[in-house]
Amino acid sequence: MIMPSDPTEVPRGNLVGLKTHFQKDFLSGFLVFLIALPLCLGISLASGYPAIAGIFTAIIGGLVATFLSNSELSIKGPAAGLIVIALGCVTEFGFTGGEDLVKDYQAYRLALGVGVAAGVIQILFGIFRAGIIGEFFPAAAIHGLLASIGIIIIAKQFPVLLGLHPEGTPLELLASIPSFIANMNPRVGLIGILSLIILIAFTWIKNPKLKIIPAPMVLLMVAVPLGMVLGIGAEGFYIFNNKHYDIGADFLVNVPSNLFNAITLPDFSGLLTQTGITYVILFALIGSLESLLSAKAVDEIDPWQRKTNMDRDMVAIGLGNTVSSFIGGLPMISEIVRSRANIDNGARTRFSNFFHGIFLLFCVALIPAVINHIPLAALGALLVFTGFRLASPKEFLHMYRLGKDQFIIFISTIVAVLATDLLKGIFIGIAVNILINIFYGVPLRSFFKLNAQVVSEGNQPALISVRDSAMFCTWIPLRKHLSDFYEEGRSVTLDFAETRLVGHTVMAKIEEWKEEFKEKGLELSVRGLDKHQALSKSRTSTHIKPKGS
């Protein structure tokens, strides 16, 4: 992370900030653009959208959302986490994967109509201060959702990395990986495997001078010339080991030579169908949740500790999605990987997001021919790597160390998503969380209402005594109490002596709020857990009071 040279000077994304920090924001915007270009293309194609769709999204995210959100360092654009939803949407609207271009185009337009509607709902979320929705879901279920998305991305993109295009469910594709390796297209697979090696190798490089050029751009600098040498874009076939393998333009990215010709208007006729309603909910709910989590994560690593107004950010994301979908783009969120790169590259204000959008606009407007030489296998490798980061073994180990209860919820959500879909999967994860809490003896009434007594006298710290339980489903009213006293400038003591259970989600949120209070010169303290049993060694593990205590 870039530490501020003068911590008393807090950069802001206004005209003064633009002038003062132009050089750093411009440079960071350019470096983020180098990362964003291949990711936008890859995410689009993996979603069943035209390659240009992701570029549209990032451009709108830079040129529109920048001026509506006060999130200074987040980068707005398409995200791998929404691939599964986008692909599911176009598929249920009739997407054929290139077999029938007319049907594919209509499915794309119907999905754009869904994107517009979801964007409008997100704007309403922000206007009616529903940014707090991200506080409701249990942490383990959210982690399970993101990990399952990573697994699905790997399953879908691993064959593309090898030059294959099979169909099937994620579980079927995962089971077929040995077969994919045995039957890969050698020339295309060579590019995909080499691209994956480059991405993995970059994680081992510690010298920042050797990482001036981002890994995704190094990947393209190797994959594009190699693809031209191997001639994978030439129509025809080649023989290797007595087998025929196809090559041609289908193995390369395809963006229009004229950007304006790529603009596609949405079709709203599918909105009131079951598919339309389902995916409006998915885009609005999952997209909002992922964006809020990313924006919060960016705030935590902001060198100046600036805080994003989540409701305002939601309006920005919603309007950005509405505009993006109106011209043919994918849904957008505040994207964590590019935002982290933005911080590491020394960005100071939100104008770095603006400049990254400008660079993408100039790129697709001026050099589309270069983009059309990018091998799809290289983008497949980039997405496989991204999927692995979402579902890495470290994530599984982290959830296990939080306690068996959290690990069960985490795994249940993953299995449920893979067996059903994202919406059902996340609610199955929540149901498993509720059943575990019932097993531990939590009273049913505490699932629906926070049982807490608040005492506030004079200048003494406020006392919030919680009874029955403190869980994810009662965190929002508890958070409201904390927020009110925080705004008043009052310290708070939380007493959990009369609770049966204090869940991991609540414990983790309390740790976050302790830092909030500390930054304001206040104290948030916790007492009454001495008779509770922690389910793991983690400070944020679930705490249960044994029966009879």
* Separation of alpha carbons 322 and 72, rounded Å: 22
Rounded Cα distance, 540 and 137, in Å: 16
pLDDT(6) > 60: no
Q: How many CB atoms lie within 10 A of CB 209?
A: 6
Residue 501 CA to residue 443 CA, distance in Å, equals 10
Query: pLDDT class for 1, splitting at 50, 70, 90?
Result: very low
Query: What number is the average pLDDT over the span 392-404?
Result: 96
- Whole-number Å distance between alpha carbons of 388 and 24: 31
Report d(CA 123, CA 108) in Å as an integer.
Answer: 23
Residues in Cβ contact with 415 at an 8 Å cutoff, skipping those fewer than 6 apart: none
Lowest mean pLDDT among 207-211, 268-272, 382-386: 207-211
pLDDT > 90? residue 500: yes
Segment 134-189, tens digit of pLDDT: 778 899 999 999 999 999 999 999 999 999 988 888 999 999 999 999 999 999 99
What percentage of the chain reaches a pLDDT higher than 70? 98
> Considering the chain, what is the average pLDDT of its residues?
93
- Cβ atoms of 292 and 37 within 8 Å: the answer is no
Distances (CA, A) of 479 to 70, 181, 299, 475, 506: 22, 51, 19, 6, 9
pLDDT at 549: 65
The whole-angstrom separation of Cα 40 and Cα 204 is: 25
What digits encode the pLDDT tens for the residues 96-116?
A: 988 899 999 999 999 999 999
Residue 296: what pLDDT?
Answer: 85
pLDDT, average across residues 252-265: 91
- For position 9, what pLDDT does the model report? 77
Given a cut of 60, whether residue 233 has pLDDT beyond it is yes
Domains plus CATH for the chain? 15-262+283-388 (no CATH), 392-439 (no CATH), 444-544 (3.30.750.24)
